[in-house]
Each structure stands twice: as C-alpha cells, then as structure tokens.
C-alpha cells in the first residue's frame, strides 16, 4: 500500500509538469486535476477526495485571500499616486550618482513590499534609463540592482503573495518570516545587485534606447517619500512587534496581559494591513485630492492581479491536503527527515526544479510548500525553523529565470537585451539570488 501511494505521488507530480509544460494548461486547473488523479491512484474514496480538496483550499485561502487582497489594494494606491517613483528619485538624490546602484537596489527592495514585481519594474525602469544617459555607463549598472531588490522582496518578504502563501501552507509565523527575509534578503541583494552589476556592466555595455514616455504614470504632485516610507513600514513594524512580544523569548512579566492582547490584535497581518490601507487611503488619496470614485477604481483594478495568485494558492493547499490524507507526506517525511537532508534543502530543491521546469516563481513556491508541508508536519520543528524553510523555498523558486518565465521577456524587452544577453545578466542574477539565499538560510538554520 505504501508503495502504491508513493508511486501515485510521483506519477502525479510528473503529470502536473506535463500538463503545465507540454499542454500549457493553466497551473490552477492542472493542480486540481492532479489532486484528483493522486487521490484515485492512492485508493482514496471519491467523496473523500473532493472533501479533502475543499478542506485544503478553504483552510489555506481563509488567511491568504484577506492578506493578498489587502496588500494588492495598498499597492494599487501607492502605484497610481506616483509614490513609488518619487521614492526612487528621493533616494537617488540622497546618495548621488556614485552610489546610485545602491539606491536603486534599496528602492526596489522597499517598493516591492506593497507593489507587484512587474508593475514596480515598469514604474521605476525610467529612472535607470535616466541615470545611464546622464553618466554614460551601461544601463545594467542601474537596472540590475533595481531588479535584484524587486525580485528578492517579491519572493522573500511578506506581505508579498509568495511568502504569504507558503507561510500559510507550512504554518509559519509571518513576523519570523519577515525577520528572516530581511536577514537573508539584504546580503543577497547586495551580492546579486550592486556587486554583480558592477562586474557584468564592464563586460556588457547596454546603451539606453528610446523609452516610451507614455508608459509612465503622470502625476502632478506625488506624495512625499517620507510619507511613503512611513506607511510601508507601519504594517511590517506592527507584525514584527507582535511576534517579538508574544514569542517564548519574551518573559511573561515583561508586558501586561492587556498590552499583549492589544499588540496581538493590531499586529495581526489582517489588522496591520487594514491600518496601512486606511492611512494610505486618507493621506495619499483623500488628503491629496483623489476623488472617492477614482480611489474605488484603483482598488477594483488592483484586485485583478491578485485573483490568479489566490486561485493558485488554494489549489496548492488542496494538493498539500491530498498528500496528507493519502499518507504520502508521512512516507516522504520518514525519508527526508535526516541529519544530512533537512526539509530546508528538500524544499529548496523542489522549488528550484519546478521553477526551472515551468517558469513561474509563485507556482514553484506553492507547489514546493505543498510537498514540503507533510515533511514538516511529521517532524518536531520550531516556528522559527519553519519560518526559515519558507525563505529557503523562496530562494529555490527564484532560481535561473529563463525563456519559460514571463519575467525573462519583460526584462529583456525593457532593457533592450538580446536573448543571449538576458541569459548572461538576468538569468545569472536570479541564480545568484537563489544560491546566496540558500547559503544565508542554512547559516540561520544551523544557528537556530
């Protein structure tokens, strides 16, 4: 029976990749089809298969849908107000042209917290163009640090959708994920951003082409950078504060019970993001003259990009639940739970394989989380350990973006690169992000 279940799982994963890669079936539908097939091959009753899928999808989306929705709403207001681009110009003014690559990296790192990767890149890439023209240096020197900051935050740091989904599937704590995401992400961004850009820009000179101004959002008076930074950090600080105060490391006598409960409420991701949205709605929107109808239009549009992420996350939760219900998770766990092959390495490898094979980092993260969750459930891992596994999966899902990833073509198109140049720059940079993230995750894992 055990052999039958394991064979069912491996056949199911093979079918999943075939459906996505060869038949080009949408990953959401492919995941649901594979859930049913694995359940049938493992000998589960038909009614139990459907109920298990419903349970997995419902349990996962109950949290993720709210957080991703609130995050998309926040990012939409920031994007349309011109705040993202204003923050980039502010940081460049403070650092000067000499340190501009570092400013671009930090800008990308911050902006990708509320704004989706592709949207943030399109908004900020004109700044890299302007810097390249004014200095006469390769466009790569400024664009790659921006991309590194955007890619790392998008994958490593909540409330971006990927780590939110993986955290929920694995049962991690968002406060710990944010802390470890910052500890892992910043050194990784330095290596894959300014340092790599300095090296590769000397090898490959890219002259900025004519950039279409119509692509940019015209805003007469964007909000101040200080206001944008304050609102971005409000939910992060509240979530981390809640984690610290209510963690086992904090003595019970250190804070009163009422204060602890108050922090638990406002530091919950739901409440923290609601507060951030209300602040943005008023200070960035209403107070600066944006009409209520315009704000409603922005919010409606921002939800569109979140829809596919929510469906994928739900399907990933259903797949996880099928693995648990069939007992496959326990069997995989007994094999993988060893001193020499930790679930951190296991999650990284699964995420990296799926990413390379089918392209989407979000699909890779969710698929890897679903397969890794039973391994974690069968072991005795602390919440901080589970949280660093989230970062390792994010690192694996960031690896070697190539022709099956829409980001590969987006970057190549906007920077005026040939396919060969895109491989030498963007693809190599994502590989550096992946393995640097893994190394940093392992360091934290063994410290824990």
Residue by residue, DSSP assigns 309-359 as HHHHHHHHHHHHHHHHHHTHHHHHHHHH-SSSS-HHHHHHHHHHHHHHHH-
Q: At 402, is the secondary structure helix, strand, or coil?
A: coil
Predicted local confidence at residue 159, as pLDDT: 79
57 alpha-carbon distance from chain centroid: 20
Predicted local confidence at residue 213, as pLDDT: 43
Give CA–CA dist 86/268, Å, rounded. Answer: 29
pTM across the whole model: 0.76
Cβ burial of 409 (10 Å; 0-12, 13-18, 19+) is middle
Per-residue buried b or exposed e for 205-239, using 16+ beta carbons within 10 Å of the residue's own CB: ebebeebeeeeeeeeeebbebebbeebbebbbebb
Beta carbons of 369 and 316 less than 8 angstroms apart: yes
Give CA–CA dist 288/145, Å, rounded. Answer: 32
159 alpha-carbon distance from chain centroid: 8
Domain ranges for the chain: 2-447
Predicted local confidence at residue 82, as pLDDT: 76
Give CA–CA dist 302/360, Å, rounded. Answer: 20
Kindly state the DSSP code that residue 213 receives in the 8-state scheme: G
Residues of the chain where predicted confidence (pLDDT) is lower than 50? 212-217
Residues 6+ apart with CB under 8 A from 401: 355, 359, 361, 407, 408, 426, 427, 430
- Pick from 116, 75, 93, 84: nearest CA to 224: 84
- Pick from 169, 164, 155, 167: nearest CA to 57: 169
Predicted local confidence at residue 70, as pLDDT: 83
- Pick from 414, 430, 329, 429: nearest CA to 373: 329
């Amino acid at each position: 029976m055990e052999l039958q279940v394991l064979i069912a799982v491996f056949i199911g994963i093979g079918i999943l990749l075939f459906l996505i890669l060869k038949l080009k079936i949408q990953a959401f539908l492919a995941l649901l089809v594979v859930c049913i097939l694995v359940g049938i091959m493992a000998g589960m009753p038909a009614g139990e298969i459907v109920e298990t899928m419903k349970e997995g999808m419902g349990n996962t989306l109950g949290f993720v849908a709210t957080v991703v929705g609130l995050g998309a709403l926040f990012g939409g207001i920031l994007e349309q107000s011109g705040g993202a681009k204003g923050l980039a110009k502010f940081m460049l003014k403070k650092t000067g042209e000499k340190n501009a690559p570092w400013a671009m990296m930090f800008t990308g790192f911050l902006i990708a917290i509320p704004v989706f990767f592709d949207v943030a890149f399109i908004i900020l890439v004109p700044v890299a163009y302007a810097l390249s023209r004014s200095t006469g240096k390769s466009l790569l020197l400024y664009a790659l640090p921006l991309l590194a900051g955007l890619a790392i935050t998008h994958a490593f740091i909540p409330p971006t959708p990927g780590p939110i989904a993986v955290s929920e599937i694995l049962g991690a704590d968002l406060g710990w994920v944010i802390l470890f995401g910052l500890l892992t992400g910043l050194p990784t961004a330095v290596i894959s951003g300014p340092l790599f850009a300095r090296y590769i820009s000397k090898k490959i000179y890219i002259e900025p082409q004519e950039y279409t101004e119509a692509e940019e959002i015209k805003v007469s008076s964007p909000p101040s950078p200080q206001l944008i930074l304050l609102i971005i950090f409000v939910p992060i600080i509240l979530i981390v504060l809640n984690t610290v105060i209510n963690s086992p490391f904090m003595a019970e006598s250190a804070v009163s019970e009422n204060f602890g409960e108050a922090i638990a409420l406002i530091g919950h991701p739901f409440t923290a993001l609601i507060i951030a949205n209300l602040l943005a709605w008023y200070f960035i929107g209403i107070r600066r003259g944006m009409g209520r109808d315009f704000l409603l239009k922005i919010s409606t549009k921002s939800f569109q990009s979140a829809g596919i992420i929510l469906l994928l996350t739900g399907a990933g939760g259903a797949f996880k639940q099928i693995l648990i219900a069939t007992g496959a998770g326990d069997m995989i766990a007994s094999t993988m739970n060893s001193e020499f092959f930790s679930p951190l390495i296991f999650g990284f490898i699964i995420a990296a394989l799926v990413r390379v094979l089918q392209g989407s980092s979000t699909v890779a993260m969710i698929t890897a989380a679903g397969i890794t969750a039973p391994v974690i459930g069968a072991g005795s891992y602390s919440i901080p350990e589970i949280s660093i596994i989230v970062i390792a999966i994010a690192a694996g899902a960031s690896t070697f973006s190539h022709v099956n990833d829409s980001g590969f073509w987006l970057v190549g198109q906007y920077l005026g690169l040939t396919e060969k140049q895109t491989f030498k720059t963007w693809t190599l940079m994502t590989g550096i992000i992946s393995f640097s993230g893994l190394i940093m995750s392992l360091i934290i894992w063994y410290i824990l």
